Structure 1
Amino acid sequence: MSVPKYPGLSEEVEENYETAETMDPELYRATTDGDILEFVRAMEHVAVEHHDPPATCVQLGPQKTTVLHIATSFGHHEIVKLICKDLSFLVADKNARGDTALHIAARAGDLLMVQLLIHSDYKEGGLGEKNEKGNTALHEALRCGHEEVALILIKKNPNMLYSLNKEGKSLLYLAAEAGFVTIAKLLLENPVGNYNVGGKTENKSPVFAAILGRNIDVLNLLWERDQSSFQLRSGNGKNPLHVAVCTEHTDGVNFLLNKHHYFAYQKDKRGFFPIHSAAQKGFIDIIKLILHNRPDTRELLATRGQNILHIAARSGKYKIVEFMLKMPELEKLINEKDADGNTPLHLATIYGYPKLVYTLIRDERVILELVNNNHQTALDIAAEHMELEMASFQKRLTWMALRVIRAPQARQTKNFKSASFRVGNQTEKESWNDKINVFLLVATVVVTVTFTAGFTIPGGYDNTNPDQGITTMLEKVKFQVFVICDTLAMYSSISVAVILLGAQLGDTSYTHVALKLAVPLLGIALAMMSIAFMAGVYLVVSKLSWLANVVLFMGTNFVIALTVLLIPLCFIGLSNYRVYYYIYYYPLLLVLYTVGT
């Protein structure tokens, strides 16, 4: 049995070891430094060592780079000129990436270097050579935005044929993408890179390149020379107007609508017309432009019979929905149903966009009583989300927004109790036990902190008779606030602990009641503890007025923010009395405007 030479490494790995090429260090150093005398001396020295004439001695670096690659990349024109004269065969040599020296010079936009290479004695400096990406030097020049270099390469051999690179990009595509009108004209007028895909969509269209590059002049040129290329579609079925819309290229959209308005009435593979793509992206200016040019596009329906307001609602674009609601001509879309019977409000509720839901429900024209094909109002859908899953924060806020304006339900279960408090199968029981434990832990921490604060009061105690053991700051208002709030926080958290301990006894019917009571009590405890801390710190630093005011300002703002978050999260939905909804309305409104959607 053979033993591996190196334990822990397989024999297969050992067999794959390779030794990289290496160049003579003096020659490499002279080439990178651009010292032509040292370069010549180093070349002669290498030739002597290898018993070869200098004109045939080739040294390769680790990436299979020749001295010509290195001198070109460092921009040493004199050395390149010498090599092109005496070692012209190196012009065709490629490095590990398939690049010739001309590729490197074109990519760098070095005009003089390109001229030196293409005027060498070797086949026009390797003009048609391709690298591993299928790019010639002309491809590289266009891709990197070097117009003058590209013009020189084209003029060197105007009749040379160029194929697509491995990305499927032609020279015309690259010129259109870069916005080179002059080069685009040259490519359209002669066989160089002539683009003809025979109606195929898998190749990249120069029309799309001009749109993506926001080059309206090139787009106009392509329209004048070859309008048939505008009929090509992308792989996902998008026409040029779709592409212009999705990139928010306003000038391109305007150009295409004026030249060929039928683009606005063509669907992509998703079933979207261009105006639906604009609604999905939330591009208000594009929507306005399309509606101004083709007002009847507002009637176009996408997949599942959805209008532009449906698409904007399901995408969560509340700003564009606000814009559409202000347009009288779009009024009939507000309560329109799709193939599933969903209105925009239904879709906003389904996808859980609370700010968008609020935007819709505050519009008096939105009919809250409308039901979809499942006989559900928007509140029914929100309630179902709460019943079937642990609702996300966004969906919980969506439900709250609908509850706070007392949206109607179509189902008979109008006395809905949040499933945030429901306990069903064994898995759900375990999940809720974990959550009860978290509440219990927080409550225990609050009890500990407030209990400790009650006996380490600010200012300490009076040790003189007859007031021994009495706090020194008893008469201070802030101290009284501290004591009251600390006491409330402690007893509230103790109540939470006792209630939740009862919920752990296994009585599932008690879990709902326990959480219904514990959550608001824990919120009160946290708020009171925050106020107690603020009062206590203010008291001990009160002699330094600016610091006391800073503490008071910071603490007050924090307590307000905490209250704004706690009120809707703890109380909304737990009561059906109308007065509660007036109390909760503005805190909920503030929460809605702090969330992203």
Structure 2
Amino acid sequence: MDPELYKATIGGDLLEFVREMERLANDRHQCYLPASCVQLGPQKNTILHLATSYGHHEIVKLVCKDLPHLLAEKDARGDTALHLAARAGDTNLILLLTDSDYAVLALLGATNEEDNTPLHEALIHRHENAATTLIDKNRNMNYSVNHEGKSLMYLAAEAGYVAIISLLMDNPVGNYALDGKHKTKSPVHAAILGRNIARMVLLNFSLSDFYTLKSFVFSKYVLKLLWRKDRSSFYKRCEKGGNPLHCAAYIGFTDGISFLLKKSYILAYLRDRQGLLPIHMAASQGHVDIIQLMVQDRPDSREQLTLQGQNILHIAAKSGKCRALERMLKMPELEKLINEKDADGNTPLHVATIYGHPKVVSSLTWDERVILQLENKDGLTALDIAEEQMKPYMASFQKRLTWMALRVVGAPKAPHSKSATYVNLMLEEQPTTENYRDKVNVILLVATLVATVTFSAGFAMPGGYKNSDPSQGIANMLEKVKFQEFVICDSLAMYSSIAVAVMLLWAQLGDQKSMHVALKLALPLLGIALAMMSIAFTAGVYLVVSKLNWLAHFVLFMGLNFVIVLVLLFLPLCFLGSSNYHRFRFLSYCPFCLMLYALGSYAENEAAE
């Protein structure tokens, strides 16, 4: 396209546009330029496309009058100028472009590469007034579905446009037939899914987007209208074989659930292709309000099982929905499901252990109604399963935390089972030995570093030494309590780290069993060394800044808190075990929770809930 004409078109100056058009007309008559250069841009845009894109009404009006053949021209994406006007939601441009009967007949049914007509574009981009204007142009127009199989009714229901749905239902324009490929695109599903899209937009942005707010508010009214006009669409299945109640339960559409249960409770008993019922979908997404509503309306729904014999507690545990599970445990109606077994004999605790959800396991084990001793059909308790998953090089940290969650509450192993772990370890003795050697080397390295640092600190005393007789070489701050603390803690740290190093050196000369024993003894000693080194550092820094009270107290406070955190983090590595005493279990549980929180597992899946 001629650059001057291009600038004049997008600039919107009508006089300049007319001047450039006249210039090019004269040039063509003198054979300076081919006619194609006047009309087409790089993306096959005509001057009408450009003027429409930039919303220059006067230029559009002039082009429609003098060059009406440009109305049917398409750009590289197959869009006419009317597509662009509908996508922008500019009703004035739509009226200008459809001013003649020829334009109405030629443009309303024109499709682009995505098989969208201008009316499809208006609905997709949530321009209700533009869509109404296009419908009113020809209410007898026959529209097909686009390449996604979405009809006008589907798009209007997804947007929550009650008035447009009424227009489509009351006039031939809304008649459409879905082929086998797209028969799952039901307007009922669209109304429910549109509500979820609106909810996500509102959560992430603001209420300023009016179309989103309308879609959020009017979804239930769309369902009511569709029920009055076309009840058969409520029994159509989606791509996954779910009915509208499945869809509403999955996204947590409470009003939709209430409406659907009142109109057709049979939907609550229909399975999708995976054999799941609507209440199972709600449990998998952690929508407890939906579960409560369904249990109140259809009390027998709490007994509904999947094809694998799992109840809603099994599903919530499998999905890792911790908060939802905790709320479900408080529901009296679900109490009998807590220890119920599925087809494989697994309780919800077994399932949570298998899928490695430590927070869910923790919530279940601290509920006194959960029986920790129950075995599945393989004769395994939850702890047996957790230990089987602790294979070398295979157990993720989530699995290890799951095992810890069971240990801190005293979960038992099956009395008649030696657990497959022992067999696995015997079969995989070589990789297990290598795994022990790696651990030994890491701890040995840390112990050596601690010994080196504390040895150096012993000769670099805070405050220095006296240089005059008779006390030459004596520390200047020998009488200070904090100095004495520094010396004691530094000495303990060094001797503990040396003991760890010697112990692990001996362990490397022995077999796998000796390594295991050495590691068990070395870890507590290394923890003591690290804690003593931290206290020694705090005492030494406190001494040298003691003249400034606020700074000295700040250092002391910070050091004390760090040591406490260090002990809590190190405790599970050294002393984690089971106990029948509630106080000891609670002490073990505190560092376990701290590790979950610090590593991001404490809030596991809570964003999705």
Is the TM-score greater than 0.5? Answer: yes
Q: Distance in 2 between matches of 1:87 and 1:564?
A: 80
- Summarize the alignment of residues 293-308 of structure 1 with structure 2, pairs less than 5 Å apart: 293-308=297-312
Check whether the contact 1:377–1:408 (CA below 8 A) recurs between aligned residues: yes
Q: Which stretch of structure 1 is more off in the superposition, 308-317 or 532-541?
A: 532-541
Q: CA offsets per residue over residues 446-482 of structure 1, 9 Å max, x none?
A: 2222222222222222222222222222222222222
Match for residue 73 of structure 2 among 87, 90, 93:
93
Give the corresponding residue for 2:119. Answer: 138
SS in 1 for 2:134: helix
Alignment RMSD (CA, Å) = 2.8
Note closer, same or farther for the CA distance 1:202–1:445 as it changes in structure 2 (3 Å cut).
farther
Q: 1:341 aligns with which of 345, 355, 373?
A: 345
User: For residues 548-573 of structure 1, what are the alpha-carbon distances to aligned partners after superposition, in whole Å with 9 as ceiling and x for unaligned?
Assistant: 22222222222212211110122214
**After the TM superposition, which of the residue ranges 388-397 and 542-551 deviates more from structure 2?**
388-397
Counterparts in 2 of 1:284 and 1:40: CA distance versus 1, 3 Å: same
Corresponding residue number in structure 2 for 1:3 = none
2:158 corresponds in structure 1 to 177
Contact 2:388 2:419 (C-alpha < 8 Å) held by counterparts: no
Q: For structure 1, which segment, 33-42 or 115-124, has the greater mean C-alpha deviation from structure 2 after superposition?
A: 115-124
Q: Quick check: 1:350–1:382 contact (8 Å CA) kept in 2? A: yes
| 1:117-516 to 2 correspondences below 5 Å | 117-120=97-100, 122-124=102-104, 126-197=107-178, 202-214=183-195, 215-387=219-391, 390-412=394-416, 424-505=428-509, 507-516=511-520
| 1:12 corresponds to | none
Q: Deviations over 1:344-381 (max 9, x none)?
A: 11112212222222222222222122110000111111
What is the aligned partner in structure 1 of residue 24 from structure 2? Answer: 46
CA contact (8 A) 1:172 1:184 kept: yes
Q: What is aligned with 2:8?
A: 30
Identity %: 63
**How many aligned positions are there?**
575
**Alpha-carbon deviation of 1:294?**
0.9
Contact 1:354–1:401 (CA<8 Å) still a contact in 2? yes
Using the alignment, how far apart are the partners of 1:505 and 1:194 within structure 2? 84
Contact 2:482 2:540 (8 Å CA) reproduced: yes
Task: Return the letter of the residue paired with 1:181.
Answer: V
| Residue 60 (structure 1) aligned to one of 40, 45, 57 | 40
Which residue does 2:59 correspond to in 1?
Answer: 79
- 1:190-214: per-residue Cα shift (whole Å, max 9, x none)? 2214243378765411101111122
Superposition deviation, residue 273 in structure 1: 0.9
Q: Which AA in structure 2 matches 1:246?
A: Y
Q: Which amino acid aligns with 1:97?
A: R
Post-superposition offset of 1:388 = 6.2
Q: Structure 2 vs 1, CA of residues 204 and 582 (structure 1 numbering), >3 Å: closer, same or farther?
A: closer
1:103 and 1:32 map into 2 onto residues whose CA distance is 18
Q: How far 1:577 moved relative to its partner?
A: 11
Q: Does 1:596 align with 2:603?
A: yes
> Offset of 1:275 from its aligned partner?
0.8
Secondary structure at the residue paired with 2:482?
helix
Distance in 2 separating the partners of 1:419 and 1:478: 53
Between the aligned partners of 1:415 and 1:528, the Cα distance in structure 2 is 39
8 A Cα contact 1:163 1:193, kept in partner: no
CA-CA distance at 1:588 after TM superposition: 3.2
Question: C-alpha displacement at 1:513, in angstroms?
Answer: 1.8
Secondary structure of 1:158's counterpart equals coil
Q: For the residues of structure 2 that align with 1:574 and 1:338, how far apart are their CA atoms?
A: 27
Matches within 5 A, 1:531-550: 531-550=535-554
Q: 1:256 to 1:490 in 2, by over 3 A?
A: same
CA contact (8 A) 1:461 1:469 kept: yes
The 3 A distance-change label for structure 1 pair 515 and 422 is farther
**Residues in 2 aligned to 1:341 and 1:417: alpha-carbon distance in whole angstroms:** 20
1:264-300 Cα deviation digits (max 9, x unpaired): 1111112111111111111111111111111110010
Q: Which amino acid aligns with 1:569?
A: L
What is the CA–CA distance in structure 2 between the aligned matches of 1:302 and 1:488, rounded to whole Å? 59
Aligned AA (1:103): H
CA contact (8 A) 1:534 1:555 kept: yes
CA drift of 1:427 comes to 3.8
DSSP-derived class of the 2:367 partner? coil
Instruction: Determine the C-alpha separation between the residues in 2 that align with 1:395 and 1:419.
Output: 19
Deviation at 1:115, TM superposition (A): 0.8
Measure how far apart 1:134 and its partner are. 0.9
2 CA distance for matches of 1:255 and 1:403?
A: 46
Q: 1:254 to 1:474 in 2, by over 3 A?
A: same
Confirm or deny: 8 A CA contact 1:177 1:206 kept in the other structure.
yes
Residue 396 of structure 2 aligns with an amino acid whose one-letter code is: S
Deviation (angstroms), 1:101: 1.0
Rounded Cα–Cα distance in structure 1 between residues aligned with 2:228 and 2:578: 67
**How big is each residue's C-alpha offset from its partner over 1:119-151, in whole Å with a ceiling of 9 and x where there is no partner?**
157532622111111111100101111111111
Q: Give 2:256's aligned amino acid.
A: G
Task: State yes or no: 1:553 paired with 2:557.
Answer: yes
What pairs up with 1:556-595 in 2 under 5 angstroms?
556-573=560-577, 583-592=587-596, 595=602
**1 CA distance for matches of 2:460 and 2:421?**
43
Q: Unpaired runs of 5+ in structure 1?
A: 1-22
Shift of 1:576: 11
**SS in structure 1 at match of 2:114:** coil
CA distance in 2, matches of 1:319, 1:31: 59
Residue 54 of structure 1, CA deviation: 11
Q: Deviations over 1:247-276 (max 9, x none)?
A: 111111111111111111111112111111
Q: Which has the higher contact order (CA 8 A, sep 6+)?
A: 2
What TM-score, normalized to structure 1? 0.90
Q: What's the CA shift string for 1:59-93, capped at 9, x where partnerless?
A: 32221211111111111111111111111111111
Give the stretch that moved more between structures: 290-299 or 569-578: 569-578
Deviation string, structure 1 residues 404-427 (Cα, Å, up to 9, x no partner): 332221145679999999994444
Determine if contact 2:504/2:522 at 8 Å carries over to the other structure: yes
Residue in structure 2 matched with residue 521 of structure 1 by the alignment: 525
Q: CA deviation at 1:305?
A: 0.2
> 2-side partners of 1:190 and 1:580: how far apart?
74
283-292 or 312-321: which moved more? Answer: 312-321
Q: Do the aligned partners of 2:115 and 2:145 also contact (CA within 8 Å) in 1?
A: yes
Rounded to whole Å, the distance in 2 between the matches of 1:149 and 1:238 is 33
Deviations 1:288-319 (A, max 9, x none): 11111111100100131001111111112222
Range 215-224 or range 522-531, more displaced: 522-531
